[in-house]
Structure 1
Amino acid sequence: MEINVSCTGVLAGKIAASYGATQIARAIACKGECNVVLATGASQFEMLRTLVSFDFIDWSKVTCFHLDEYIGIDDSHPASFVKYLRERFLNQIKVPPKQFHFVNGINPAGAEAECARLDQLVNDVKIDVAFIGIGENGHIAFNDPPADFETKKPFLVVDLDEACRQQQFGEGWFESLEAVPKQAISMSVQQIMKAETLVVTVPEKRKAKAAKAAIQGPVNPSTPASILKRHSHCVLFLDNESSSLLAKP
């Protein structure tokens, strides 16, 4: 795990985007295509804003996968991650990606059927770059503690814990805590760890405890992000606030 600390969250997002864009371009140059995972949430605002500004990325050679989505929310809801990625990514790039595989939180066949559909799409795909964040409770995607570190299933139906739901309300996505869904479809921990490169953007003071536990604590399902230390090519992009509790070397 490599740690990159910037003075502000905006700068951290910009540097993360630049690093990730370089990895995307490298994959395209090497094999003619690239497979990317995109995350959502407040931590990704500046990263995505910068990523879509790079004209050297040929998005027509990129297949995108969606990290997670609430169950029971359609893309007209303000908190929909599909809506988020359409507005902040798809509508901002000049050339559409080769494909974009969204998570459908309202699949008429049910959430387990949606997981099975997504599993089929990603099973034989090598993810080159995954852009993710870390939640206030240490989650990656919607794998809340204690996370399942063992399952090989690419996508799961997961229960959202109180801290996770409080974060979603606190960020302003929902009008009340009660309105935050209690379940979601999430890419699994093991599937995230299969990515060739992990670009992890973690700004703001409210992420400081989670960052410290993930970076300097033991690898433990109680801190899902701690497993990132076992990844061979994972870079965390922090700011002065999110890194403020880290013990100095």
Structure 2
Amino acid sequence: MRLILRENPNEVGDYIANYICKRIKEFNPTAQRPFVLGLPTGSSPIPTYKALIRMVKEGKLSFRHVVTFNMDEYVGLPKDHEESYHSFMFREFFSHIDIPPSQVHILDGTASDLHGECAAYEASIRAVGGIELFLGGIGEDGHIAFNEPGSSLKSRTRIKTLAYDTILANARFFNNDINQVPRMALTVGVGTVLDAREVVIVVTGARKALALSKAIEEGVNHLWTLSAIQHHPWALIVADSDATLELRVKTVRYFRSIEHVQDEVEKHHAELRAKGVTANIGGSLGIAGVLGHGSHAVHGGINDI
């Protein structure tokens, strides 16, 4: 697992957007082989979405061959409700990029058979070969999607009752009236997220600081579901300064040193590519085997240090 530290939410968003852009381009998706991207809602990913929109408008990135799966949706809210996650995603992202609507997947919280809707969602993910990269945010209690504290770390897409703290936190989207906030949601499971070939988590703000420290400085614990990514072979957390307030100084220093080495690897790789050299640069930098990770080779070659 890697932890990337940036000064503020906008810098976090720019970093993640560039990372996603790079991954999509390296994947070189086609209509027959699309890049499958998992996406979150909430305030944390908005800077990332804005940066991705900017890239599309500048002609630097296309979503024509990208298939998306969103993390969750409230039970009982119509798709056209202002605070449904369908409305959120099209308002904040999909309506501004070149993705065909048929390639967008969002759970239907008004389905007549909610259990069937969840099973069908998992089947749809399998049908496209699984999720290549899952972008996620977290709650103040460390939950991923709506996998509240105590959720099974092997859970699949299902119906979940929301924790009272989550209802309080989301009341700001419902005129600060907790009575308007739905009590249940459909959500991908922790296991669904961990099945992705790569997981990228955005963590911004001081209110997420405790969750971040629990997730990376302590053991895996179902009361802090973010901690489950310790078991993922290709996990990346990108956080701003405020989100690191609960981390130990040596933890921050360690991950900054890892990033410094990674920057060195990438710079050297770019220089070799400019010269037309395709040799194993891992060996030349004393990091043997850094190119042995397929498409993740250089930009993520030390994720699992």
- What range describes the TM-score normalised by the shorter chain of this pair? over 0.9
Give the match for residue 39 of structure 2: 38
Give the match for residue 117 of structure 1: 120
TM-score normalised by L of structure 1: 0.92
Distance 1:165 1:25 in 2: 38
Give the match for residue 245 of structure 2: 244
Distance 1:219 1:129 in 2: 22
Matches within 5 A, 1:129-168: 129-151=133-155, 153=156, 155-168=157-170
Q: Structure 1 regions of 5+ residues with no counterpart?
A: none
Q: Structure 2 regions of 5+ residues with no counterpart?
A: 251-305
Distance 2:214 2:18 in 1: 26
CA contact (8 A) 2:66 2:99 kept: no
Q: Structure 2 vs 1, CA of residues 166 and 192 (structure 1 numbering), >3 Å: closer, same or farther?
A: same
Matches within 5 A, 1:7-156: 7-28=7-28, 32-54=33-55, 55-96=59-100, 99-107=103-111, 109-124=112-127, 125-151=129-155, 153=156, 155-156=157-158
CA contact (8 A) 2:44 2:202 kept: yes
Give the match for residue 205 of structure 1: 206
How far did residue 98 of structure 1 move? Answer: 6.1
How far did residue 148 of structure 1 move? Answer: 0.9
Q: Structure 2 vs 1, CA of residues 175 and 74 (structure 1 numbering), >3 Å: closer, same or farther?
A: farther
Give the match for residue 222 of structure 2: 221
How far did residue 241 of structure 1 move? Answer: 0.2
CA contact (8 A) 2:62 2:98 kept: no
Please give the per-residue CA displacement for 1:52-83, whole angstroms capped at 9, x wherever unaligned: 22233331111111110000011232221110
Higher relative contact order (CA 8 A, sep 6+): 1
TM-score normalised by L of structure 2: 0.76
Please give the per-residue CA displacement for 1:65-114, whole angstroms capped at 9, x wherever unaligned: 1110000011232221110111111111135366111211111x232121
CA RMSD of aligned residues (A): 1.7
SS of 2:44 mapped into structure 1: helix
CA contact (8 A) 2:167 2:181 kept: yes
Please give the per-residue CA displacement for 1:104-137, whole angstroms capped at 9, x wherever unaligned: 1111x23212112212211342211111111111
How far did residue 9 of structure 1 move? Answer: 1.2
Distance 1:174 1:185 in 2: 22
Relative to structure 2, which stretch is displaced further, 42-51 or 20-29?
20-29
SS of 2:244 mapped into structure 1: coil
How far did residue 11 of structure 1 move? Answer: 0.8
Letter in 1 for 2:164: E
Larger radius of gyration: 2
Letter in 2 for 1:8: N
Letter in 1 for 2:161: D
Distance 1:166 1:149 in 2: 24
Distance 1:97 1:50 in 2: 20
Aligned residues: 245
Give the match for residue 183 of structure 1: 184
Q: Structure 2 vs 1, CA of residues 174 and 158 (structure 1 numbering), >3 Å: closer, same or farther?
A: farther
Letter in 2 for 1:201: V
Give the match for residue 292 of structure 2: none
Distance 1:206 1:199 in 2: 19
